[in-house]
Structure 1
Amino acid sequence: MEEQAGGLFLFVAVALVFAQIVLRVVFNIGISGVYELATFSATFSVLLTASLGVKRNTHVRVDILRNLLSRRGALVLETVVQVLMLTVSLALLYSGWLLVDESLLFGDHTTGTIEIPMWAPQLIMPIAGALLTLRTLQRILSLIRTPDAVLQSPTPGAVD
């Protein structure tokens, strides 16, 4: 689900920016608020697909320390990293929820020509936090069940 939704939001962001450029260059007009919508779409794309990096174990990282450690040391390091990731994803979920709740309480809107209630674009934060939490918990369970398989470097281009 994350991959399709993230791809759709990325497509929307690119299409909006492309349309705005064409309108400005060819017709010398622009639509107010398009860049704001494109920014929201690009942000949605990034935050929705971040959980795929956790699921596939393909986030950018430096493996030098892990490669220098014994298998047991590497497992401990990976466990610590996943617990930290779980903490960050739960913080994103909680703080995102507080932000959305506050925006609803105060009735915040964007300040551009297109007035969008701020809770709508901010909703991506608790959604992304929930997805990251889910994927991190899955990763921790995989570490517990099959530690040797989880410690192997991911195969480039591999899809779960």
Structure 2
Amino acid sequence: MVLVIVVLLGLLVVAEYFWPEKVVRAEENVLALLLATITLVSFAQVIARYGFNTGWGGALEITRILFAWMILFGMSYGVKTSSHLGVDAVIRLFPKPVFKGAALFGALCGILYAVILLKADWLQVFGADTKGGALHYWDKFYKIGIGLDDLRYPEWFQEAFGVQERVQRWIAYLMLPIGLALLAFRCLQAFVQIWRGQRELMVASHEAEDLVAQNKTVTEE
């Protein structure tokens, strides 16, 4: 899994270098597709249950999984687009060099947060008695091969490919290590951009003031 993540991040770097707009569009399409699927499944389940007294037993589980995928994938997109809300009222009072240092510290905390959740074993170098993380968690489910509670493969799929009845948990949890790796990568990107002066903060700030400034003439007109 580590090798897969490294390859994916490498491909992402190359794609962003040559086709930055297409990468943004692809990320937005993934989030839109996840949200649309959640909405469609939920709507169909309500109609089936209350209109025809039937339904799909795995509807709730798949909506929970897709919602988790949307959150995990959306975390990195939010960092990339500075969409995460943040309170910067205090650090705005600091001198410019101190403000930049605080912004860099925030980005560094984001990197450490994602890396620790991804794999915490490296903290043992600093004397911390800890291990595990998303990679360890996913790898355990991959080796065990247990299935989800309600989400099952169609019978024709089971017969055609000889798979087990229930969808494996490692498939459902695949976005956990990938999402955290993307978050760490985007936080690292933000750190570099702040260092170079290409952006101020990793989070959204003063968006209300910007909107007011942009639309202050609307009421006058």
TM-score relative to the length of structure 1: 0.88
**Gap regions ≥5 residues in structure 1:** none
Question: In 2, distance between residues paired with 1:33 and 1:82?
Answer: 39
* One-letter code aligned to 2:112: T
Please give the per-residue CA displacement for 1:82-105, whole angstroms capped at 9, x wherever unaligned: 111001111233322111100012
State the Cα RMSD in Å: 1.9
Does residue 104 (structure 1) correspond to residue 153 (structure 2)? The answer is no
User: Alignment partner of 1:63: what SS?
Assistant: coil
**How many Å separate the matches in 2 of 1:26 and 1:130?**
43
Q: Which has the larger radius of gyration?
A: 2
Which residue number corresponds to residue 118 of structure 1?
169
Question: How many equivalent pairs are there?
Answer: 155
Query: How far, CA to CA, are the matches of 2:78 and 2:91 in structure 1?
Result: 18
2:104/2:195 contact within 8 Å kept? no
Deviations 1:88-146 (A, max 9, x none): 11123332211110001222211226222110111111110111111111111111211
**Does 2:194 align with 1:143?**
yes
Q: Which amino acid aligns with 2:57?
A: S
Tell me the equivalent position of 2:97.
72
How far apart in 2 are the matches of 1:111 and 1:58?
A: 34
Using the alignment, how far apart are the partners of 1:84 and 1:123 within structure 2?
24
Structure with bigger strand share is: 2
| AA aligned opposite 2:60 | Y
Q: For 1:6-54, what per-residue CA distance to the aligned partner results, in whole angstroms no more than 9, with x for missing partners?
A: 2111111111111000101111112101110111111111111111111
Q: Does 1:133 align with 2:184?
A: yes
Q: Which has the higher helix share?
A: 1
What is the percent sequence identity of the aligned residues?
A: 25
What are the within-5 Å matches in structure 2 for residues 3-152 of structure 1? 3-94=28-119, 95-112=133-150, 114=152, 115-146=166-197, 149-151=198-200
Determine helix, strand or coil for the equivalent of 1:116.
Answer: strand
Instruction: State the TM-score, normalizing by the size of structure 2.
Output: 0.65
| SS at 1:111 equivalent | strand
Name the CA shift for 1:113/1:40 in 2 (closer, same or farther; >3 Å).
closer
Letter in 1 for 2:182: L
Unmatched runs of 5 consecutive residues or more in structure 2: 1-25, 120-132, 153-165, 212-221
* Alpha-carbon separation, structure 2, partners of 1:92 and 1:125: 10
Amino acid at match of 2:97: R
